[in-house]
Amino acid sequence: MSRVIGRLLVANRAEIASRVFRTCRRLGIETVAVHSDADAGLPYVREADAAVHLAGNAPAETYLDLDALVHAAKATGADAVHPGYGFLSENAAFARAVEAAGLTWVGPAPESIEAMGSKIEAKRIMREAGVPVLEAPEQPTEADLPLIVKASAGGGGRGMRVVRDLADLSGEIAAAEAEAASAFGDGTVFVEPYVERGRHVEVQVVGDRHGDVLVLGERDCSIQRRHQKVVEEAPAPDLADEVRTALHDAARSAAEAIGYVGAGTVEFLYDPERERFWFLEVNTRLQVEHPVTEEVHGVDLVALQLAVAEGGAVPEPTPPEGHAIEVRLYAEDPAADWQPQSGVLTTFEIPETDGIRVDAGFASGSAVSTHYDAMLAKVVAHAPTRRQAARALAGVLSRARIHGLATNRDLLVGILRDTDFLDARIGTDFLGRTSVVAASQQATPHRHLLVAATVALAEERRSRRTVQRGIPVGWRNVPSQPQRTTFAPDLDVDWHGTRDGYRVDGVEVVAAGPGSVTLAEDGVSATYAVRVDGTAVEVDGPLGHARLVEQPRFTDPADAVASGSLLAPMPGTVVSVAVSVGAEVQAGQPVLVLEAMKMQHTVSAPHAGTVTEIDVRPGAQVAAGEVLAVVRAVEES
């Protein structure tokens, strides 16, 4: 039975909600947003025609309340629900609740969701459909290593562990079960062989209620950190035509085997050395990386979802044109084991030019909370060739102004400019076998960035003077030594303030202000955009970006902590404590596990010694920088 959707509620948040709303506006469909307390100020809430505040005891659980979401749809006059991705997007009970309320469900049938919801059951179905499946023996031996533990009910790298020693298998299974239970409410895991140099290749499918399945090419999503994708592209590079055809045929068979309706993705693990592939899973929803398929095939996958939900038929396939690359911009610190970041994005400006698409969930001034995934935006480039797309995307990212939080922007630029990436030598091991991560973690910013920050700090303080406004900054009648500005960790800039401006050895300060500084050296000048926020300074320019924090000349005793203190790297919840007061620990031994932004982070002993304090218990909420425990070193003991 065909329906016409008039008002759509998106049961999700941030970037994906904004993405669906954009298509709805084009089609003339009214929109409804839902939001938690933490998300009330995000752009998607203002973009909708109506917004519903979802009350909840914990923000992380707000979007998981089936009854509240259905009630919000009914109360606002919505006649359809789009689940987005994550949260309840692959929850058959939610799909049934939506349909039972007389609303149109924009997604696959609940039976298809259930069939693919368990990766174990999904493998059985695919095996019977003739789709190649990767499986480990029930009793693995050393010859079967390495292995990988996966969550049966989830994805996104959560609940996933690589095992290289059989002695570690039981411990990794237990850890994966705990993380999977926390992330998905289901701790079931399974084990399969781990292909070291494999590639993650997936095929986009769209099925309709008439039994037809549209295959819209494939994507390569091999570049990952913590088993989570960070770079995706379409078409997949360096695939033999016969492999490409076989992948598409296998994806169609997989969709037909479960009577798939709507947009979905069939994921495969591809071994380029043997040109073989195996089924991984079916994602019964729209994928984060769907824009690259849209760009190369000239389609709107959200519009197709809506058309199929209304009873329409899928169109004829369109051949790919050009190449598209997408990067996921995260609020995380690659130099600190990918720790997610929270706080306020004081500036968030990504230039959109021809061939560039930005799907963002945040804007300047938005707060990034600890309750949800740390992805800020997806930035996509579409160009005639792969190298042209990579060049354009790297250029846009390098010119972006992103202030307030550490991000993976420099890492993404490094990937896009890396020779291995440009030559399509990619795989799930890419970040582990290349120098891209180390290069993005350059410890010392270029001296010009430090000088620009120093001058901008001085200019900002001059602008706030209430007396002696005519006196030059840093001026001394009889100078005996230079002024010194120190940024953490111990980065010094010596400078003089003169009647004619600033003097820094080897660098000419051509123009200075609190928001812009122009420097010259050897006849070459460049201008740096600067933002000063207290003692924190953000600098953007041709030599990259730096976030610098000025060190005080004297340390406040109240800020001092005991030697050996383990500080919370981010706000989060204590999941477990592995030791007790008085325990002897070795360097690197786990002390406790902290959960933040849906990921678990192990806090380990910094050195061998004795645990003298444990200041938290499981379930405790902690702030960034809070003392969790103290380990007194052996020599101190």
Residues forming the active site: 285
Structure tokens at 276: 């073989």
Distance, in Å, from the CA atom of 66 to the CA atom of 72, rounded to the nearest integer, reads 10
* Cα distance between residue 183 and residue 74, in whole Å: 28
- 419: which residues sit within 8 A by CB, 6+ positions away? none
Buried b (16+ CB within 10 A) or exposed e, 95-131: bbbbeeeebbbbbbbbebbbbbbbbeebbebbeebeb
In angstroms, the CA 389 to CA 333 distance is 25
d(CA 302, CA 289): 13
CA distances from 397 to 134, 417, 516, 601 (A): 37, 12, 20, 28
Bond before 146 cis per omega within 30 degrees: yes
Q: Which residue has the tokens 């519009």?
A: 303
Burial label, 340 (beta-carbon count in 10 A; 0-12, 13-18, 19+): buried
Which amino acid makes up residue 58?
A
Contacts (Cβ under 8 Å, ≥6 apart) of 618: 574, 575, 576, 577
In whole angstroms, give the CA distance from residue 245 to residue 100.
40
- Cα(368)–Cα(571) distance, integer angstroms: 12
Residue 315 near residue 216, CB atoms below 8 Å: no
What whole-number distance in Å separates Cα of residue 629 and Cα of residue 613? 5
Contact call for residues 330 and 374 (beta carbons, < 8 A): yes
Contact 221, 201 (CB under 8 A): yes
**Alpha carbon distance, N-terminus to C-terminus of the chain:** 76
Long-range Cβ pairs for the range 385-390 (8 Å, 24+):
385/322, 385/323, 386/233, 386/237, 386/323, 386/325, 386/422, 386/424, 387/422, 388/323, 389/233, 389/322, 389/323, 389/324, 389/325, 389/355, 390/325, 390/416, 390/417, 390/421, 390/422
Say what angle helices 241-257 and 119-128 make with each other, to 10 degrees.
110
**Coil, helix or strand for 66?**
helix
Contact between 316 and 339 (Cβ < 8 Å): no
Rounded-to-integer distance, Cα 620 and Cα 598, Å = 16
34 neighbors 97 (Cβ within 8 angstroms): no
Of 322, 402, 317, which is closest to residue 355 (Cα–Cα)? 322
